[in-house]
Structure 1
Amino acid sequence: MLLNNHKILIDQEIIYYNPSDKPMDTIYLLNWANGYRDKKTPLTKRLIEDYDKSLYFARIDDRGYSSIRFLQCNGSYTKYNEHKDAADIIRVILPATLPPKESVKINVEYEVKLPKDKYTRYGHGELSYNLRYWHLTPAVYDNTKWHLFSNLNMDDYYMQPADFKIDFAVPLGYTLHSELDQEVAIKKDHVLYSLKGKDRLDIQLNILLNNDFSIYDTQDLKIVTDIKSKNLTENIKVDVLQRQIDFIKEYLGNYPHQKMLVNLASYQKRPVYGFNQLPKSLNPFSDIFEWDIKLFKTITDRYIENTILTNTREDAWLADGIQIYLMIEYVKNYYPEVKAIGNISKKWGIRQYNIAKLDFNGKYPFVYQFSTRKELDQSLSTRADSLSNFNLKLVNRYKSGLGLRYLNEYLNNDIVKKSLKEFYQEHNLKLSKTVSFNEILTSKTDKDLSWYFGNYLKTDNKINYTIESIRKESDSVEVTIKNKSNFPAPITLYGVNKKEIKYKQWIDPIDVEKKVKVPVKDIDRLSLNYEYLYPEANLRDNWKKLNRKLLNRPLKVTFFRDIEDPYYNQVFYKPIIDYNFYDGFLLGPNIYNQALFKKKWLFSATPVYGFKSNTITGNFAFAYEHLPQETGVYRYRAGISASRSHYDNDLAFNKISPFFLIDFKRNTLRDVGGKSLLTRYVMVDKELPLEAEIPESYKYNIFNIRYGYAQPNIINDLRYFADFQYNDNFSKASIDVRYRKLTNINRYLDFRMFFGAFLFNDTESNFFSYSSDRPSDYLFDLNYLGRSEDSGFLSQQVIITEGGFKSIFEDSYANEWILSSNASIGVWRFIELYADAGFLKNRNENARFKYDTGVRLNFIHNFLEVYFPLQSSNGFEPEFSDYASRIRFVLTIDIERVYNFVKRGFY
């Protein structure tokens, strides 16, 4: 019975049959409704990993739980307890051993408090309930072990098909929708729904005060959905749904049930990416296409998860692959003209870009290639709960579907289609493993498929072939094809004339190199993987022109970044607007070669004009980047950067820095942060003012090594770096440690410690000394808006480094060592209290102690903050007449830092 306080009182009887050939003394029940109970459940921890703290800090009234009142086995009370570290799994100790193939009756009475639906889209809204995983279900035992999975918001419930009979009472005025057969009886104070179904899995229920669902009767299946389209008639919708069901039946077979619930919440959890990323105001897709694809996506999801019963947490590739493969084939059949960005591709200023030419189905290899070029992909055999969100939601699903398309093209004769249908018919509503599909598929062909069931499914090795060379003969050309990876796989070789395919040949897997002869008639270009029938890491070296010119790839200059075009050397440009006090507003082009995919050789040049200085300044960088696959290093990057700007009125500086950077791999792709080692040689040449007396601070070279570590979790954020610098006149070493804690009452606690010391110091000024409140930034790493200002608004900018103090002191430098700590604690929302304390030591002097306290308005951490000093070593600062000039601020406008902040937890 559903109560008004969002609770369900459940009296449940479970008849459990021992499916194994071994006696049982314990049964496990999945109790996923209890995953919302507190901060310690696996579900809460998982959401925290995804940078979602909503459930962690949810009010008690908004949480959910499952509370058992009593539990009996065969009429006898029995012992039960929560599984260790998993509040959503119950261990039931049977009063008597359960023999193989025998049954036990479990009676359990419990109360389920439904959470708000904002956490996982399941629970209660304002006037509706979307129920999923709301009742107890026996876990799966497969004769070797129990498969015990907690709720991780992955919608991968694993259970045996069961027969259900449910009597569900809801308040008057509410309507209940489900996939079960139902009878309705109106009672005095409630409506009783009697629900029945055979061979069912987790039961979804939608209960609404305002019924927003429509029911469509096709010839085979009744579709119940709240996915709307205002501009389509009911007849068109029924025709489209009938086409969808017929299409799925052609590839799989009949759906075993009479009705399917296709709700908006299920679609929103697994949307069609592209629809929700493009602005609706531009009307990128027609109403019929968008509604059709949304419904097809969700119906195929339900079709598969209700019939193909595999352990998708450990063995997800086939279920994911079938769904994406059906999507690819459906769009190819009925919407071949639709582009990935829809009608936006036809708009002026967009249609000349490569992304505008990308077909809707082209997004699948595009996303895969984006991931693999960044070395962010994971194997299809990786457990689903170990995948990054990017791979879980997109890349692995796409790679699975592309793999089936790959097999279909390679094997021909609809072998994949026939194998899928046979697998579906033999294993429909039966627990199975995808190895069964492998056996069916290999039985239908003489071709060796070990490359597919090995490298493709079980590793993250990439397919990467190139045309090494060509040699013309009288009526043919000898093509040398080289395998650049450790993944031999079948490939296609094409002969093309003005984008028309004249010749096509499948070539069996090549270990190292192979020579192939191709007729040259009517061919001006040879290409591998021209139709992108298989996912490949790099397409840029896949082709050769028969009549080679000086440049195999002509130069193509494009406004703003585009997707990669393998037939051109691409250069991009975009406008840059920046500001500093001495140059004023800066305007100019950024010219670069980095497309949306990673490249090895990178350059960027940004000449800008300063409207205040009336001069041209800017920066330039050139680098080589290598991403090794099977090492503990994620990336090597070596190069040189140079820049010119003004550091004071009419005074410019030049900075040149060759560098070598190593980024180390994370332990897993679900980890955030990482480790890096930077080595560089910084050469600075500053223009001297007329009154300059100490030239050491105007032209200098510094060798710098820095090791950095970051683990920016949402609850415990730890970062540190160690830094070493060497110059002819000084050498120094320092360590900076930062820890940020989100407390149980949703308040932040910040702590930072800095220690720096000179190993030797023969300098004559404080330019290279440590500073308590405003370092000179002699390496020009910090984004000061007015770096030489000692008065006025811009002098109040603070960047937390070295001493990190907010108050400004007269004797703020240390030419021997410095030890400081900075702390703050949240009070209410963005209001915090801060305190800094530390010691500064100069040569031949005693160490000086400094402190300050005040109020911090932390609007956006590290991006927009304001500090109001109160008590410090200077005294009670609000009493000073110049108090307004003592207020400090943090302002960051670095676009790259904003992007890295936003993408946390996804890649």
Structure 2
Amino acid sequence: MRLILLLLLAGPLLAQDGQYFQQSVDYGINARLDDRDHVLHAELRLGYINHAPRALDSIVFHLWPRAFSGDNTAFARQQLRNRSTDFHFAPPAARGTLDSLDFRVDSHPARFAYTADPDVGVLYLNEPLRPGATAAITTPFRVKIPESFSRLGHVGESYQLTQWYPKPAVYDRDGWHPMPYLDQGEFYSEFGSFRVTLDLPANYVVAATGVLQDQEERAWLLARADSTRRALAGRRDLPSGYVDESFPPSAAERKTLTYTAKGVHDFAWFADKRFMVLHDTLELADSPGTRGPADVWAFFTETEAALWKDATDYLKRAVRFYSDHLGPYPYPQVTGVQSALSAGAGMEYPMITVIGRSYTAYGLDEVLAHEIGHNWFYGILGSNERDHPWMDEGLNSYYEGRYTRQFYPERRGRQQVIPGREVETDALAYHYLARLGRDQAPDTPIDQLSAFNYWISAYSKPELVLQAVEERVGTEALDAAFRDYYAAWKFRHPRPTDFFAALAPLGVDDYVRDAMTSTTAGEFNRAARSADRSPGLSPPKLALITDAASERPQLFVSPLLGFNENDGVLAGLALHNRTLEPRRLEWLVAPLYGFASKELAGFAGARYRVVRPAEWLQQVVVGGGVQRFSDFDPPAVDRLYGYDRWALRSDFYLDHPASSQRSSRLYSQLIRLDRRRPDFGDGGVLLDRAETLTTHFLRAGYAARVEREINPVAYGVQLEYRNGGAQQFPAADYLRLDATLTGGYQYQADKFLRWRLFGGYFLQHDLREGNTAPSVSLSLVDNAASDYAYDDLYLGRSQDGWYQQQLGERQGGFRAPVAAAFPFGRSNDYLAAVNLDGDLPFPGPIGVFLDAGAYGYRPTLSSAQSNAVRWVGGLSVNLFQDQFRLFVPLLADADTRGLLEQRGNLLDRVSFRLNLSRLLPWQWIDELP
């Protein structure tokens, strides 16, 4: 009788082609919670029925609590890849594991071995398990419950027991699906039944998958729910935010609770002595497997109690909504839990969902609806979300969007991301990545998706695709296709091809297939990559604030205010066409007026991008621009002079797997620099005209970064050719090769050791044998005087005083504001440098630095080349995430120290880096990972 029941629970096991099958599992688990040590002592009994058409000699098990045991797990690596270091720096006492296993099969000891993933193992059967046969598997196990880093965990004595027991992996027509635990990405598990017994202190309130079998405990919960409802109704001080609520002592008495669940592939439970409880019932027509109304439970603490007082109403409405559109809810209860959660806003399990902070009533309702919807796509259909995340998250997001539009029509799926502008955030985010060539297909395995693309590919893009399908075929037709899909595949693990087949009668299966499995093929992808809208004949839309893309041509005008010492206060306008979404052609014109120089200044530029022109290219960007400012204020001359810098640039961004965290590009750049300088006639008479000095630079290079959180690294090589023109003094054409390697190590949370290596060598140089050291020489100190191609922005060029204390980070990168008048640290031959930084291991932005460099130079025309070594070190202050850094030199070699002392007191020797170029908005936005 038991075997027949399990076969029925598993659903259809063989399709007509004889290839479809699924296993079924009968779970029995006894667990005892020790809340003093945060440990579970448990026993597992499994009835594993083999429905495969072949015998099995082993069974793969998931032991997911072991994901929290060390840094060598897939979970730990993913955390770092997603730039979270909480687990990496957690002490051993905060981590968790699963151990004390002793597997037996049919009462006989059996060999068990772990795989390369510590949370995946293989149980080797003593005899092959024939088709249709059952193996009785038992083992004790102990779970050390970690602190809350993801789903399984505890915060004090609040427990979230999820993915907590040894679980057989899915074995289907593709074989075993071993899956290490991941925080970003969910699961693929086999259907079956559960009987779970929990032993814990008597004053814990427990919410769980399944049906509580203990009538005394149920009566206690119902009484608690009644008192909670009366207490909430009488309060006017319900909190809508976080409440630091202490835990009452655990009762000396213990209780034993039993839960049963059928037709599910997971079991989760939550325990907290502070839980308030609400209860209601829900009557659904045509709900198979339920007798009478379903129970509706809500468990929550004082935190956001003002929101949770209506939680049962939200839960009932969500269940009705999904039942009406997809098919009846088949389970006897539904539960929402407010608890600690470190894996998103909410997480679903069969019959139960846990929600973190929601902040607003709308936010709670929306997340509850989304997580309740997973009972259909994750719980009942049981898709392989690890390999096909969109089949759960994306399909569910489409219906969640319809839920919020129905009950919150004023929101229309739009949010205010900039003042006065509401945008469709899902469409904006997807278009943003697609138009930079950084999007990934929804049908990408989760562990290959970047963190940003997980949101876009698994959630946003599928919802947008289905909205487009709804517009084509109509809401009723699409709902009917979903209902047929749900009815045909519930409890059967459908695949992408099964979903596409369900849409075939609507004639949109190829449209959806292309959108889900590709970033380039198909109508939807091509439309998304098209950054330019058809302008038509409409007049341009004029706005002060950048907006989302529009069908009309757009022109944005913004006031600009700036300053440099030569031009004084700068005021003007920025005119551009850049929307929140990248465009194929983008341009910017920013004229400025200098109130001190009384000159026209500013900058202008345009760039054109081609997305994914080849498989190995993300995008190609070709652009050009000009900037014009004053930069020279010679003494005794009542006139300021300036420069025009023209540049053309091309960047080829190479494509790399997102999981590699690598980015790289090939680039070329042509610069024309026109500097306007005083012109003198015979006898040194100042002429009433300026002399224009023209220089050309041609660069080609390769740059790459690996954005690892603990030990990032970046490197690049560049060739630079300079042609100075005959009028230059001194004339200095050259060909130079530079190489840079930077890296770091995060030794504790947000505390880094950083290093940088630079090497430069002139392959050819007109001045190699000379002793002059013009600005184009290799330089230890990167200040405005050595910024010979005007690559960076400085507050004052050709200025004395504190303006010389603004430094960049090119070439030697010395943090010593040596005056440009001294031929210090310059070479026409070679230069090698190392820059070291270390954050001090206590709170605050204080660190230390050390720079050292070696270079070759000629003291006089007749002398042989000499080699010099210079160094400087001191304290640093890092503010605004590297946007502004101060450096106080305290130690140096004798020559460097002497030049620093000539500047004056300690304040005169301080240097700073102010990354003005990074403040230009589209530069840092488009560099988002």
Give the Cα separation in 2 of the matches to 1:2 and 1:894.
56
Cα offset, 1:337, TM superposition: 3.9
SS in 2 for 1:247: helix
Letter in 1 for 2:664: K
Which of 23, 48, 51 is residue 19 of structure 1 equivalent to? Answer: 51
Give the Cα separation in 1 of the matches to 2:598 and 2:654.
45
1:10/1:562 CA distance change after superposition, 3 Å: same
SS in 1 for 2:677: coil
Give the Cα separation in 1 of the matches to 2:584 and 2:308.
53
Which of 731, 737, 741 is residue 740 of structure 2 equivalent to? Answer: 737
SS in 1 for 2:483: helix
Cα offset, 1:609, TM superposition: 3.7
SS in 2 for 1:198: strand
Cα offset, 1:306, TM superposition: 1.3
What corresponds to 1:92 in structure 2?
123
1:332/1:655 CA distance change after superposition, 3 Å: same
The answer on 1:298 being equivalent to 2:371 is yes
1:172/1:875 CA distance change after superposition, 3 Å: farther
Matches within 5 A, 1:379-528: 379-412=441-474, 414-442=476-504, 444=505, 447=507, 449=508, 451-452=510-511, 454-461=513-520
Answer yes or no: is the 8 Å Cα contact 1:62–1:116 preserved in 2.
yes
Answer yes or no: is the 8 Å Cα contact 1:624–1:639 preserved in 2.
yes
1:266/1:255 CA distance change after superposition, 3 Å: farther
Answer yes or no: is the 8 Å Cα contact 1:321–1:403 preserved in 2.
no
What corresponds to 1:822 in structure 2?
835
Q: How many residues align?
A: 802
Cα offset, 1:265, TM superposition: 6.0
Deviations 1:57-103 (A, max 9, x none): 1111211211224332222333222211x111122222332222222
What corresponds to 1:112 in structure 2?
143
Answer yes or no: is the 8 Å Cα contact 2:701–2:716 preserved in 1.
yes
What corresponds to 1:773 in structure 2?
781
Cα offset, 1:270, TM superposition: 5.0
Answer yes or no: is the 8 Å Cα contact 1:464–1:538 preserved in 2.
no
Answer yes or no: is the 8 Å Cα contact 1:575–1:589 preserved in 2.
yes
Cα offset, 1:621, TM superposition: 0.8
Answer yes or no: is the 8 Å Cα contact 2:296–2:312 preserved in 1.
no
The answer on 1:713 being equivalent to 2:772 is no
Cα offset, 1:560, TM superposition: 1.2
**Superposed CA RMSD:** 3.6
Give the Cα separation in 2 of the matches to 1:408 and 1:699.
61
Letter in 2 for 1:64: G
Answer yes or no: is the 8 Å Cα contact 1:840–1:848 preserved in 2.
yes
The answer on 1:192 being equivalent to 2:196 is no
Answer yes or no: is the 8 Å Cα contact 1:121–1:265 preserved in 2.
no
Runs of 5+ consecutive residues of structure 1 not aligned to the other structure: 273-284, 466-484, 488-534, 545-551
What corresponds to 1:882 in structure 2?
905
Cα offset, 1:197, TM superposition: 1.4
SS in 2 for 1:431: coil
Letter in 2 for 1:106: I
What corresponds to 2:915 in structure 1?
892
Matches within 5 A, 1:860-871: 862-871=882-891
Cα offset, 1:808, TM superposition: 5.3
Identity %: 19
What corresponds to 2:855 in structure 1?
840
SS in 1 for 2:618: strand
What corresponds to 1:619 in structure 2?
603
The answer on 1:850 being equivalent to 2:870 is yes
1:539/1:788 CA distance change after superposition, 3 Å: closer
Cα offset, 1:824, TM superposition: 3.4
Deviations 1:649-703 (A, max 9, x none): 4634222323131232331234445222332332223332589999999542322
Cα offset, 1:643, TM superposition: 1.0
SS in 2 for 1:324: helix
Structure-2-length-normalised TM-score: 0.79
What corresponds to 2:5 in structure 1?
none
1:873/1:430 CA distance change after superposition, 3 Å: same
Cα offset, 1:121, TM superposition: 4.8
What corresponds to 1:70 in structure 2?
102
Give the Cα separation in 2 of the matches to 1:708 and 1:315.
33
SS in 2 for 1:847: strand
1:579/1:222 CA distance change after superposition, 3 Å: farther
Answer yes or no: is the 8 Å Cα contact 2:918–2:924 preserved in 1.
no
SS in 2 for 1:414: helix
What corresponds to 1:499 in structure 2?
none
Cα offset, 1:557, TM superposition: 1.3
The answer on 1:605 being equivalent to 2:589 is yes
Matches within 5 A, 1:652-671: 652-671=641-660
Deviations 1:706-758 (A, max 9, x none): 33222232123222222212214321323232332325556533222222222
Letter in 2 for 1:200: V
1:145/1:69 CA distance change after superposition, 3 Å: closer
Answer yes or no: is the 8 Å Cα contact 2:535–2:553 preserved in 1.
no
Matches within 5 A, 1:152-191: 152-182=182-212, 183=214, 188-191=252-255
SS in 2 for 1:598: coil
What corresponds to 1:587 in structure 2?
571
Matches within 5 A, 1:497-576: 536-538=528-530, 552-566=537-551, 568-576=552-560
Deviations 1:511-552 (A, max 9, x none): xxxxxxxxxxxxxxxxxxxxxxxx7544855686xxxxxxx2
Answer yes or no: is the 8 Å Cα contact 1:718–1:738 preserved in 2.
yes
Cα offset, 1:777, TM superposition: 0.1
The answer on 1:244 being equivalent to 2:344 is no
SS in 2 for 1:244: helix
Answer yes or no: is the 8 Å Cα contact 1:573–1:589 preserved in 2.
yes
Deviations 1:408-458 (A, max 9, x none): 44345834322321222232223332433333443x45x4x5523642332
Q: More deviation in 169-178 or 855-864?
A: 855-864
Cα offset, 1:32, TM superposition: 1.1
1:789/1:172 CA distance change after superposition, 3 Å: farther
Q: More deviation in 641-650 or 694-703?
A: 694-703
Cα offset, 1:139, TM superposition: 0.6
Letter in 2 for 1:67: D
Letter in 2 for 1:871: L
Give the Cα separation in 2 of the matches to 1:577 and 1:5.
60
What corresponds to 1:204 in structure 2?
268
Deviations 1:202-221 (A, max 9, x none): 22222112114533432243
Q: More deviation in 832-841 or 406-415?
A: 406-415
SS in 2 for 1:430: coil
Letter in 2 for 1:715: I
Letter in 1 for 2:826: Y
Give the Cα separation in 2 of the matches to 1:43 and 1:413.
40
Q: More deviation in 610-619 or 33-42?
A: 610-619
Q: More deviation in 893-902 or 47-56?
A: 893-902
Cα offset, 1:264, TM superposition: 4.4
Letter in 2 for 1:725: Y
Which of 26, 40, 44 is residue 8 of structure 1 equivalent to? Answer: 40
SS in 1 for 2:573: strand
Letter in 2 for 1:317: W
Q: More deviation in 594-603 or 886-895?
A: 886-895
What corresponds to 1:727 in structure 2?
723
Answer yes or no: is the 8 Å Cα contact 2:805–2:912 preserved in 1.
yes
What corresponds to 1:132 in structure 2?
162
Give the Cα separation in 1 of the matches to 2:127 and 2:800.
83
Give the Cα separation in 2 of the matches to 1:73 and 1:666.
49
Give the Cα separation in 2 of the matches to 1:673 and 1:154.
19
1:560/1:839 CA distance change after superposition, 3 Å: same
Cα offset, 1:30, TM superposition: 0.7
The answer on 1:787 being equivalent to 2:797 is yes
Runs of 5+ consecutive residues of structure 2 not aligned to the other structure: 1-31, 221-250, 285-293, 347-357, 634-638, 725-731, 859-863
Structure-1-length-normalised TM-score: 0.80
Answer yes or no: is the 8 Å Cα contact 1:730–1:759 preserved in 2.
no
